[in-house]
Amino acid sequence: MTTTDCMGDLTADILAFVPQRPMAPERTDSARRRFRTIWISDVHLGTRGCNAEMLIDFLDHVDSEQLYLVGDMIDGWRLKKRFYWPAAHNDVVWRIMKRAKRGTRVTYIPGNHDEMFRQFAGMDFGGVKVRRKAIHITADGRRLLVLHGDEFDAITLAHRWVAFIGDNAYTALMVVNQWLNVARRRLGMPYWSLSKHAKAKVKNAVAFISHFEEVVAHAAGSRGVDGVVCGHIHTAEIRQIGDVAYYNDGDWVEGCTALVEHFDGRMELLHWADEIAKRETTERAAAIAA
Ligand SMILES: [Mn+2]
């Protein structure tokens, strides 16, 4: 079998995997907020912790010329242990493939949880470029290195903030977080991240996170770029470290954040739970006025 045959089979397999239409139809009622670039990562599709509903809401309310998927989109480690794939997870994949088809330039940089896709780096599938890392040029001419971030684990062990409470405890915490938020939603209360709260309370975790940020920024600086965009540690941040701008787009397990670039090159972190709350307040006010 030639390489081309393999590639053909693989593309067909991937396209067959993407459903014909989503379970939750795409919302087109609201005018989408447009950005030059969007970065998301650490979605962990295939796990109960993944907040697919919130991500679907995000994808239905924003659009961009370019979209970077900065790793850990699918949790291959967890999926291997136990298969978990609800319709909402297909809907996320469908929406991303649809964007690529509509002309958004999509770059997928696999992380450590979806490292099985790293072997396809350099290839394109359905308009999605798979790469190990990328250089993004902002509208104001800055060069940003885009990578997942697990490259620095050997030095920082920053992702191991979880180790302080243990992986199983973290998973349990995520389940509690979900139930808590179902209850909060029923009571008309906004989304609240329990583990984000817990993480901020662990002093050592905070030290590890800031060490990770400094190591990544330093490595980017020595490669001569103006900034770095990563994910991996599930801690969204925009921070200037020396000459290097450090950006972390966060995650869609607990924080539910995306990094966006406006058309003038200005960067912003969107905390989607807050954006939903803002939108609902506006809608309520409009309903009362009407
Ligand atoms: Mn990771």
Per-residue pLDDT of the chain (290 residues; tens, 9 = 90+): 334 444 444 445 555 666 667 888 888 766 899 999 999 999 999 999 999 999 999 999 999 999 999 999 999 888 888 888 999 999 999 999 999 999 999 999 999 999 999 999 999 988 999 999 999 999 999 999 999 999 887 666 545 555 454 556 666 667 777 777 777 887 787 777 766 666 666 556 667 788 889 999 999 999 999 999 999 989 999 999 999 999 999 999 989 999 999 999 999 999 999 999 999 999 899 898 88
Cα(150) to ligand 1 centroid in Å equals 6
CA distances from 91 to 56, 98, 100, 148 (A): 7, 10, 14, 23
**CA 118–ligand 1 middle distance (angstroms):** 13
Q: What distance, in Å, lies between the first and last C-alpha atoms of the chain?
A: 66
Cα–Cα distances in Å, from 73 out to 12, 26, 118, 193? 20, 20, 12, 20
CA of 251 to the centre of ligand 1 (A): 10
Give pLDDT, residue 189: 77
Phi, psi values for residue 130, rounded to 5°: -100, 125
Determine the pLDDT at residue 184: 80
Residues with Cβ–ion distance below 5 A, ligand 1: 72, 111-112, 150, 232
User: Looking at domain 33-289, which CATH architecture does it have?
Assistant: 4-Layer Sandwich (3.60)
- Res 179: pLDDT: 75
Cα of 167 from ligand 1 centre, angstroms: 14
Q: Average pLDDT over the chain, rounded to whole? A: 85
Residue 152 C-alpha to ligand 1 middle, in angstroms? 11
CA of 283 to the centre of ligand 1 (A): 36
- Name the pTM for this structure: 0.83
Q: How far is the CA of 228 from the centre of ligand 1 (A)?
A: 16
- How far is the C-alpha of 220 from the C-alpha of 216, rounded, in Å? 6
The pLDDT assigned to 194 comes to 67
What pLDDT score was predicted for residue 117?
A: 93
Q: What is the pLDDT of residue 187?
A: 78
112 CA from centroid of ligand 1 (Å): 5
Spatial separation of the C-alpha atoms in residues 26 and 15, rounded to whole Å: 19
Residue 115, classified by CB atoms within 10 Å of its CB into exposed (0-12), middle (13-18) or buried (19+), is middle
Q: Sheet holding 267-271: strands in order across?
A: 124-125, 128-130, 105-108, 62-69, 33-40, 257-261, 267-271
Q: Sign of dihedral through CA atoms 166, 194, 91, 144?
A: negative
- 27 CA from centroid of ligand 1 (Å): 30
199 CA → ligand 1 middle, Å? 17
pLDDT of residue 4: 40
Q: 157: CA distance to ligand 1 center in Å?
A: 11
How much is the pLDDT for 83?
86
Asked whether 259 and 271 are in contact (CB, 8 A), the reply is no
Angle between helix axes 87-102 and 52-59 (nearest 10 degrees) is 20
270: left (phi over 0), alpha (psi -120 to 50) or beta: beta
CA-nearest of 97, 30, 46, 20 to 252 is 46
Distance from residue 66's CA to the centre of ligand 1 (Å): 22
In single-letter form, the type of residue at position 15 comes to: L
